[in-house]
Structure 1
Amino acid sequence: MDRVMKLASQKAVVIFSKSSCCMCHAIKTLFYDLGVNPAIHELDEDPIGREMEKALQRLECNPSVPAVFIGGKLVNSTNTIMSLHLGGSLVPMLKEAGALWL
């Protein structure tokens, strides 16, 4: 849990992902298209990825990926991110976190 929280606070946007997950790919693409350069942690490519995935589940990430942290705070699932984006709240949140300067 400590490692996940430490990684989550090291950059304005942090995404815990799996390289084979289509929803993870969609979320990463959304952030890239918005001009954000998130820190990406591919759990299936990390030696302690399984432990980090369990920590994310304890944080109530269900499913565990993609887990998105903005400004060190868990924003959670694909549905939440897409709802924020479609509602016009995601970009202001990214600006406040320092991930966007426009």
Structure 2
Amino acid sequence: MDRIANISSQKAVVIFSKSSCCMCHAIKRLFYDQGVSPLIHELDEDSRGKEMEWALMKLGCSGPTVPAVFIGGKLVGSANTVMTHQLNGSLKKMLKDAGALWL
């Protein structure tokens, strides 16, 4: 869990992902299209990826544990939660508050 906390605090937006996950790709694209440059941590390319995946589950990422999105060091959630924030307009405010967007 300490490793998750350390990585998730390195940048305004951090996405824990798997390189072969289509929902991960869609969420990354969502942030890139808004002009946000997130830190992407690919769990399937990390020797401790399985351990980190368990830690994400303990933090509340249920179902598919990835993508797990952190904004401002806080867990926002998975793709469904991020898309809900996008659709209701609250994602942009979260990104501005975290310093990921300046518009």
TM bracket (short chain)? over 0.9
Q: Deviations over 1:1-20 (max 9, x none)?
A: 10001100111000000000
Matching residue of 1:94: 95
- Deviation readout 1:28-52 (Å, 9 max, x if unpaired): 0000000000000000011111111
TM-score normalised per structure 1: 0.98
Distance 2:35 2:50 in 1: 30
Runs of 4+ that moved beyond 4 A: none
Q: Which residue in the other structure is 1:2 paired with? A: 2
Which structure 1 segments of 5+ residues have no match? none
Task: Give per-residue Cα distances to partners, 1:55-101, cap 9 Å, x unaligned.
Answer: 00111101210000000000011111001001111011100000011
Q: TM-score, normalised by structure 2?
A: 0.97
How far did residue 53 of structure 1 move? Answer: 0.6
The count of residues paired between Structure 1 and Structure 2 equals 102
Instruction: Among all aligned residue pairs of Structure 1 and Structure 2, give the percentage whose two residues are the same amino acid.
Output: 73
